[in-house]
Amino acid sequence: MTNESITAAKGFWAAGLACGIKVSGKPDVALLVCPTGATAAAVFTTNKIVSAAVEVAREHAKSSKVYAVAVNSGCANACTGKKGLANARRMCAVAAKALKVAPEQVLVASTGIIGEQLPIEKATAGIAKAAGQLSDSAEAGAAFTQAIMTTDTRPKCAVRRLDISGQTVTIAGTVKGAGMIGPNMATTLLFLTTDVAVSKPLLAAALKSAIGDSLNKLTVDGHQSTNDTAILLASGLAGSRPITSRCPRFRKFAKALADLCTDLVRQMALDAEGATRMFKVVVRGAATTADAARAARAVADYPLIKCAVHGGDPNWGRIICAVGSCGVRLDRAKLSCKLDDLYVFKNGAPARFDAQKASEIVSQVEHTITIDLGTGSKTDFCYGCDLSAEYVSINADYHT
């Protein structure tokens, strides 16, 4: 069977296991390794308060070769001061020692509860143990994915294979998401591997662009976490000629990477905390792209719309209300709104539509809300998901 996990790209090994950070006893430490050394690109949260892991990973991502990423779930190691920072460095050091590389060549990522100190002895014992279980099997890749999950209800992976210079190049990704997700960027932790050979600046450019139209377009609850991290490692082992310019091969790779990231974003939206369905908001006819982005996000973030989608209710009044309230320029006489291809509001007035059909559209696993502001030609979009009672019960429980 084809490997559809994070180890699908040539040159990557992984492991994941339980080391006791999570009270539940579920897997909570993971290791991703490129034994030959990988070119790395990374994007981090823009929250002004970042986890110790983000501080350290930002620094280490500058290394010309990265050999590993050590990850823990169950504790965010954020708002943990100097002790937290020392712990994040120890995670790198322990992995580096096991792999006989320098600590700066190991990245680190954490996810879980903010403000608690990491049980560092458990974490480092877990990393050392994981280093002894590394494999490039699909099972090892799956174990990695299991160990990065928090309130995720299912593993989220995607793989793309494409031909570059007559060689099959593979891109693989896995993500954990669920809550505390708001542009930019919509993830907690995203790990991507590829065996393409590509220069560090171009790898960074491809990652930034892929995230811009995928992870940066999803909102679950409107806020970035302190820990958001996306890491892309390229082993260069596919055998394809190195990409060193923005040539057609680069564009092909970048397009496949973006496609894979969008796939992962859809998986995240549908597995957001309590979510049962997702929707895409497309705003057209805006005076500026910023207006389009703002209106799209206002609709995707609005609890009343999220509740209506949850109930399969084509409540376009709440959409128009959110658009009118969010501060963007609009032409009242031209303002229009469609649910998929069905007009519910056209040129400033309610459209006659089949209520049953509208309800069916909103009740789908995914539908598209298209809004025309009637003030220009700019466009942007955003992904959102419904708001359920389940979201509340997940997030109102003390220490889950």
Contacts with a second copy by CB under 8 A lie at 46-50, 76, 78-81, 113-115, 179-180, 182, 221-226, 298, 301-304, 307-308, 310-313, 316-318, 320-326, 330, 332, 335, 345, 348-350, 359, 387-389, 391-399
Q: What phi and psi values does residue 70 have, to the nearest 5 degrees?
A: -100, 130
How far is C-alpha 370 from the geometric centre of its chain's CA atoms? 24
The answer to whether the CB of 233 falls within 8 A of the CB of 12 is yes
Q: Measure the N-to-C terminal CA separation of the chain; round to a whole number of Å.
A: 36
Taking the C-alpha atoms of residue 111 and residue 42, their distance in angstroms, rounded to an integer, is: 16
Which neighbouring-strand residues pair with 231?
Answer: 42, 191
Catalytic residue IDs = 187
**Closest approach of Cβ 373 to a second copy, in Å?**
10
**Residue 159: partners with Cβ closer than 8 Å, 6 or more residues away:** 2, 3, 4, 5, 8, 170, 171, 172, 173, 260
- Concatenated DSSP letters of 309-345: HHTT---HHHHHHHHHHTT----TTT-EEEETTEEEE
> 102 or 326, CB closer to a second copy?
326
The CB-of-267 to a second copy minimum distance in angstroms stands at 21
68/328 with CB nearer a second copy: 328
187 marked among binding-site residues:
yes
Residue position matching structure tokens 């070769």? 65
DSSP string of 77-113? Answer: --S-HHHHHHHHHHHHHHHHHHHTS-GGGEEEEEES-
76 or 94, CB closer to a second copy?
76
The rounded distance, in Å, linking the Cα atoms of 29 and 78 is: 17
Check: CB of residue 6 under 8 Å from CB of residue 144: yes
C-alpha to C-alpha distance for 387 and 277, rounded to whole angstroms: 9
Residue 219 marked as a ligand binder:
no
151 is an annotated ligand-binding site residue: no
Q: Supply the minimum distance, in Å, between the C-beta of residue 70 and a second copy.
A: 22
**Look-up of token digits 């082992």:** 237
Min separation Cβ 203 and a second copy, Å: 27
Residue 150 annotated as lining a ligand binding site: yes
Question: Helices H, strands E: what count in the chain?
Answer: 11, 14
3-state secondary structure 27-59: CCEEEEEEEEEEEEEEEECCCCCCCHHHHHHHH
Q: Which of 86/326 has CB closer to a second copy?
A: 326
**Residue 160 or 176: which CB sits closer to a second copy?**
176
The token duo for 303 is: 């609890």
Q: Smallest gap, in angstroms, from Cβ of residue 248 to a second copy?
A: 38
Structure tokens at 240: 């394809």
Q: Is 145 annotated as a binding residue?
A: no
Least spacing, CB of residue 289 vs a second copy, in Å = 19
Question: Tokens for 147?
Answer: 């160990």
> CB-wise, 100 or 398, nearer to a second copy?
398
Q: Which is nearer to a second copy, 133 or 395 (CB)?
A: 395
Smallest distance from a second copy to CB 388, Å:
6
Q: Which residues are annotated as a binding site for substrate?
A: 150, 176, 187, 273, 395, 400
Q: Which residues are annotated as a binding site?
A: 150, 176, 187, 273, 395, 400
